[in-house]
Amino acid sequence: MRISVIGCGYVGLVTGTCLAEVGHSVVCFDSDTAKAQMLRDGRMPIYEPHLEELFLRNRQEGRLSLAEDAGETVRSGDAIFICVGTPPLENGDSDLSAIDHVARMIASEARSPKLVVEKSTVPVRTGQELKRALAVYGRNSGSKFRVASNPEFLREGTGVEDFLHPDRIVVGVEDEQTERQLREIYQPVLDGKFRCPVHPSGCQGAPEPAFVVTTIASSELIKHASNSFLALKISYANALADLCERLGANVEEVTRAMGLDPRIGPHFLRAGLGFGGFCFPKDIQAFIRLAERAGMDFRLLKEAESLNHHQIERFVEKIRHALWVVRDKRIGLLGLAFKANTDDTRFSPALKLAARLLAEGAEVHAYDPQAMEKARTELPGVNYEADAYAVARGADALVIATEWPEFARLDWEKIQAEMARPLLMDGRNLLDPKTIRALGFEYQSVGRPDGDSIGLPA
């Protein structure tokens, strides 16, 4: 099928590349000329495992192309996936101006019937507004438009795998023709009949994803509901961690046993510095605002958001408690991205922590395997180092702020020898306390019995 993708951010780039990978003819467009030129030059604007390999191969094999003209993109596709940004406004609402702009552009440029698919995360009723905009601005074009919702459930760091091997594909439709067309688009994914870059030896036996058909309104609500619930689980784990520190319990033992209950499950019950990235903070705010407009006070989500903000301050207090005086101390930071396997620093807890330490008068040195360039533009006051060992050299404290697996494999005996004071603050519970203490570290983590952290005042 001929598919157009408008917007080459994280969602659009993964969506367009993976749709080409499973056999469709895909044309992508982005209004950011610098980003578009970067892609035409074969360079990635984001880091995502497997993405560059798939993007370059599908361009070479002719299934994926980059349009220079928005109108060309609209006219070339039978289905058009809208993947533009919906950033938060100051009041927490989603900024839908890019969606509106694309709708007017599709309406004016289309010369044949189009299926227009919302892939961006949008609040409920956006589909109805999209239909109205297409009808109003396309009234003289003679083209007919059908609208569908198809929310993305891509996790940064595993986006390609999530697209090619999803647990569910949700489509919000209003007619059988739209359902059939979307099922046809995703049939290779449903069948698993494509070469798999994530599992080269084959992925036979993998469960077939659920193809969930709903109304457009339900589909739009599912993404916000899912992300908000996951954020709730993270905040609940952090609240438990606080209690465990006060009572001398181990949050990992508690959450591990909880997660064995199939009604609860183990995923996202991990204590740490809290959730970040572009999706969770934005989506939970948008969901709260959506509820307010519907006349509901979603206090549960407000408390989860508050707990998440408080988690950074709690960890800063741990550092103060351990160092006595933070001002003029050299503090090393391992990790800048909001999570491992991405270079995304948007709403990153690691950057928030770095900013707080700078405000306290600390000298902050940092390293991240992928996020250094983006972090420099956001937080120029940090000293960015070439590797983890340079960060540790002469440090009064070392903080693990992002759970990169390579940090667990560092030569910790060497790091201990490099530090002015071997104080290790593990904000992601990445390391084993007994092993690391045996090397001579003063070690504290989140919600585990770490000596001085027990009984820390709120």
Across 206-226, average pLDDT:
93
Task: Please state, as a whole number, how many other Cβ atoms lie within 10 Å of the Cβ of residue 168.
Answer: 11
DSSP string, 203-270: -TTPPPPEEEEE-HHHHHHHHHHHHHHHHHHHHHHHHHHHHHHHHT--HHHHHHHHHTSTTT-STT--
The CATH number that domain 2-214 falls under is: 3.40.50.720
CA distance 153 to 121: 10
Q: What is the mean pLDDT of the chain?
A: 93
* Contact of 372 with 384, CB cutoff 8 Å: yes
Q: Place 394 in a pLDDT band, splitting at 50, 70 and 90.
A: very high
Is the pLDDT score of 2 beyond 70? yes
| 279 in catalytic set | yes
Cβ neighbors of 354 (< 8 A, separation 6 or more) are: 333, 336, 364, 366, 379, 382, 401
What's CA 85's distance to the chain center, in Å?
13
CA distance 3 to 148: 14
Is the pLDDT score of 177 beyond 90? yes
What's CA 197's distance to the chain center, in Å?
21
Annotated catalytic residue within 8, 18, 28, 279: 279
CA distance 44 to 322: 41
pTM for this prediction? 0.89
Q: What is the pLDDT of residues 42-60, one digit of tens each?
A: 999 999 999 999 999 999 9
Q: What is the pLDDT of residues 20-41, one digit of tens each?
A: 999 999 999 999 999 999 999 9
CA distance 338 to 96: 25
The residue type found at 69 is D
CATH of 230-453, one of 3.40.50.300, 3.40.1110.10, 3.40.50.720, 1.10.3720.10: 3.40.50.720
Across 363-379, average pLDDT:
96
Is the pLDDT score of 161 beyond 80? yes
pLDDT at 110: 93
**CA angle, residues 379, 385, 386, in degrees to nearest 5:** 135
Q: What is the pLDDT of residues 405-436, one digit of tens each?
A: 999 999 999 999 999 999 999 999 999 999 99
Q: What is the pLDDT of residues 68-80, one digit of tens each?
A: 999 999 999 999 9
* Contact of 246 with 454, CB cutoff 8 Å: yes
pLDDT at 452: 41
Q: Looking at the chain, which residues constitute the CATH 3.40.50.720 domain(s)?
A: 2-214, 230-453
